[in-house]
Amino acid sequence: MPNLSSLKVSGWAGAAGLHLLLAGVVATPAMAADPVSDPLGVIKIQKGAPIQIGGYWVLSGPDAALGIDSKRGVELAFKDRGGKIDGHQLQLNAQDSLCTPEGGQTAATKLAANPATVIVLGSACSSEVTAAAPILWKAGITNIGTSASAPKLTAPDRKPGYDGFVRTIPNDLDQGKADAEYVFNTLKKKSIVTIHDGSPFAEQLQAVMAGRFKELGGTVLSQEATTPTEVDMKPLLTNVAALKPDLVYMPIFVAAASQIIRQAKDVPGLEKTSLLGSNGLMSADLIQAAGSSVVGFQFTYQDISPEALGKAYPKFVEAYKAAYGEAPISGYHANAYDAATAALNAIEKVAVTNDNGDMLIGKKALRDAVFATQFDGLSGRISCDKLGNCAQFHHAVYEYTNADVSTYEPGKNPKKIYP
């Protein structure tokens, strides 16, 4: 079972932190003698008690960098906020949801069972959110996704259980289309095979990419599937080689991707076939797992260069290095920072303090405030639509240039090669 971890943060020196740059100064909750009413219920935080904010990410295993990086982004947002709202300390209750549906279910069940949970941030993987978001919303808890990008999570026909879910990561509808256009128009590849691992993220992203690739005039020879833990990729790759694709598109995660990267060059017919990964592969763990074969491997991603993210981002990176002794370990820290900012803005907007000093937060009011979010964030403009899509997508392609794990740093190794 995942363990519960809590973080209480105090303010950094200096009032003009990144929060002021990105979100502006927000008034503290108003005093009120009358109780707050809300159709979904009211959270009461007693005077002096912490504001408990849940989180769930993959924090262990081969994809842990995705979640740890996001969790750190939230922690830094809390620090930039001064560590408290209206005298109440901010407390992060982070669950390890393992990048699996079962992990998401377990994490959400724990967080929903805690009556003090105000709002929840996460997760790293769409499979976690698919299971978790309905559990949280059944308890009236809003969930702000930090890197779960599967299209169905914010689709017009999504089920009511996802009505409390929004995200500060772009929708894979944009990613998949951009990936197809890059492969067809820039790389001039005319035939592809896709590989997914059955996860909502990978399956939906490859489907969008394949659909757009066909529209452009390309040929999708096959849409293959593996499992996240498969070790022997030779049978799959042998079948792929027989199709003679120009490129293999594989938006999967570290464990399976590293095996394909290692083994593909030894499969007759694939020696010169291009491999292209996607969002789950910005991680030092991929270098560790793939070894020397990682050099030259390319993957598509949201553009996290300083040029794309704006003037506040370099300062954030320096703060990250100072706090954790290393550069960002994946690419979702900015999205998570913005998710935390959106959550704290919404709390400050709707929270009311009564005559006893207790903070009162209406659950539906909080949900509505989150869906009304608009601000210039660390990852770009954050503006939520009625389905919970809040982020703008900027396409980029990255390439690993060195197999030494110590050289890992987003923007350097892997470096951005497009645009």
Q: Does residue 34 register a pLDDT over 90?
A: no
Strands 298-302 and 395-399: antiparallel
**DSSP states along 212-229:** HHHHHT-EEEEEEE--TT
Closest CA to 281 of 318, 250, 245: 250
pLDDT tops 80 at residue 279: yes
Structure tokens at 177: 């289309």
Dihedral sign (CA 353, 367, 339, 379): negative
Q: What is the pLDDT of residues 336-378, one digit of tens each?
A: 999 999 999 999 999 999 999 999 999 999 999 999 999 999 9
Spatial distance between the Cα atoms of 61 and 242, rounded to a whole number of angstroms: 33
Model confidence over 99-121: pLDDT tens digits? Answer: 999 999 999 999 999 999 999 99
Sign of CA dihedral 137, 139, 142, 146: negative
Q: Cβ-count burial of 157 within 10 angstroms (0-12 exposed, 13-18 middle, 19+ buried)? A: exposed
Six token digits for residue 125: 């993987």
- Mean pLDDT rounded to a whole number for the chain: 91
SS3 37: coil
Q: Which residues of 243-258 are buried (b: 16+ CB within 10 A; e: fewer)?
A: bebbbbbbbbbbbbbb
| 3-state class (DSSP) for residue 138 | helix
Q: Is the pLDDT of residue 29 over 90?
A: no
- Which residues fall within 8 angstroms of residue 292, CB to CB, at 6 or more apart? 403
Name the pLDDT band for 35 (thresholds 50, 70, 90): confident
- Provide the pLDDT for residue 36: 87
SS3 203: helix
CA 384 and chain centroid, separation: 16
The model's pTM is: 0.85
Over residues 195-224, the pLDDT tens digits come to 999 999 999 999 999 999 999 999 999 999
DSSP string, 297-347: -EEEEE--SHHHH-TTHHHHHHHHHHHHSSS-SSS-HHHHHHHHHHHHHHH
pLDDT at residue 307 in the model: 83
What is the pLDDT at residue 341?
98
What is the rounded distance in angstroms from the CA atom of residue 170 to the CA atom of residue 388? 10
All domains of the chain, ordered by start, with CATH? 5-169+332-388 (3.40.50.2300), 173-304+396-418 (3.40.50.2300)
Tell me what pLDDT residue 28 has. Answer: 46
**Sequence-distant (≥ 6) Cβ neighbours of residue 383 within 8 angstroms:** 373, 374, 390
Average pLDDT over residues 186-196: 98
Using the predicted structure, report yes or no on whether residue 77 has a pLDDT greater than 50.
yes
Helix (H) or strand (E) holding 375: strand 374-377
Give the integer Cα–Cα distance in Å for 111 and 120: 8
Question: Higher model confidence: residue 11 or residue 398?
Answer: 398
- How far apart are alpha carbons 259 and 276 in whole angstroms? 14
> Over 80: is that where the pLDDT of 79 sits?
yes
The DSSP line for 384-402 is --TTSB-B---EEEEE---
